[in-house]
Amino acid sequence: MNVAKMIDHSLLRPELTTADVRHGCEVAARRAVASVCVRPSDVGLARAALDGTGVLVGTVAGFPHGDTLTTVKAAETRALVEAGADEIDMVLHIGRLRSGDDAYVHDDIAAVVAAAQGRVVKVILENVYLTDEQKVAGCRIAERAGAGFVKTSTGFAGGGATLADIQLMRATVSPHVEVKAAGGVRSLDTLLTLHRAGATRFGATVTEAILDDFAARERGEPPADAPSTGSGY
């Protein structure tokens, strides 16, 4: 099992300096994770830092609330692709989903998918605000609109990935659509539990602690305690 290639190393906190982002990219490259997920303004920096490493550059659109105009989300996505982004994590319009305006939500996602020009788009539902019925609706809309992933959370809304949500999302979308868990993935045990439930990618800030724990267990050492600090993204 290659745990590193399941992790999107998150560099989204608003207070991060450029030095913090560069260091995060160094960590991502050294640990050979799947990607970094950086703020839009940091895509160029991350692209330069990670070229040739095999680590993808991911970023966000309409983040963290999802309520910007569709035209703005699409324009942002085009600019991010031009800057070198490989993957786009977009927030769907949470209020419109809760309102039952499926057509708006679909067209909003589809516009970003088109603007991504073949790059993977991960659609963030922000499950903490949704009923199970709304989660199912959001997943189905995202799939119809061409998303490659459905994702639990931004990590900035007071709730994160749960086992029940991963199971529900995996059961809702077709096999070709993947599920990303974000928010509260602070330990290897959490990651492995959610992986068994169907998640294939994980947003994490405590990447090194998770990978160190995995390596220790591979050597037969006892599990480490979960980190007590860090963003839940």
Q: What is the pLDDT of residues 58-71, one digit of tens each?
A: 999 999 999 999 99
Kindly state the percentage of the chain with pLDDT values over 70: 95
Q: What are 177-221's pLDDT values in tens digits?
A: 999 999 999 999 999 999 999 999 999 999 999 999 999 999 998
Catalytic residue status for 122: no
User: Domain range for residue 83?
Assistant: 4-218
Tell me: pLDDT of 231 over 50.
no
Is 223 domain-assigned? no
CATH of the domain at 45: 3.20.20.70
Tell me: pLDDT of 223 over 90.
no
Is 208 domain-assigned? yes
Residue pair 58/91 in contact (Cβ under 8 Å)? The answer is no
Confidence of residue 230 (pLDDT cuts 50, 70, 90): very low
Is 177 domain-assigned? yes
Q: Which tokens hold the place of 210?
A: 């998770």
Q: Which tokens hold the place of 218?
A: 């591979």
Average pLDDT over residues 111-135: 98
Tell me: pLDDT of 227 over 60.
no
Is 111 domain-assigned? yes
Catalytic residue status for 151: yes
Instruction: Kindly name the residue from 42, 151, 165, 213 that is annotated as catalytic.
Output: 151
Is 78 domain-assigned? yes
Instruction: Kindly name the residue from 73, 122, 135, 180 that is annotated as catalytic.
Output: 180
Residue pair 165/135 in contact (Cβ under 8 Å)? The answer is yes
Is 225 domain-assigned? no
pLDDT at 158: 84
29 CB burial (10 A radius; 0-12, 13-18, 19+) = middle
3 CB burial (10 A radius; 0-12, 13-18, 19+) = buried
- What is the distance between the alpha carbons of residues 148 and 214, in angstroms, rounded to a whole number? 27
Tell me: pLDDT of 162 over 80.
yes
- What is the distance between the alpha carbons of residues 95 and 2, in angstroms, rounded to a whole number? 37
Instruction: Kindly name the residue from 89, 108, 165, 213 that is annotated as catalytic.
Output: 89
Residue pair 120/142 in contact (Cβ under 8 Å)? The answer is no
Q: What are 72-86's pLDDT values in tens digits?
A: 999 999 999 999 999
Tell me: pLDDT of 228 over 50.
no
Please count the structural domains in the chain. Answer: 1
Catalytic residue status for 89: yes
pLDDT at 229: 39
Is pTM beyond 0.85 here?
Answer: yes
- What is the distance between the alpha carbons of residues 137 and 143, in angstroms, rounded to a whole number? 10
Is 224 domain-assigned? no
Q: What are 86-119's pLDDT values in tens digits?
A: 999 999 999 999 999 999 999 999 999 999 999 9
Is 188 domain-assigned? yes
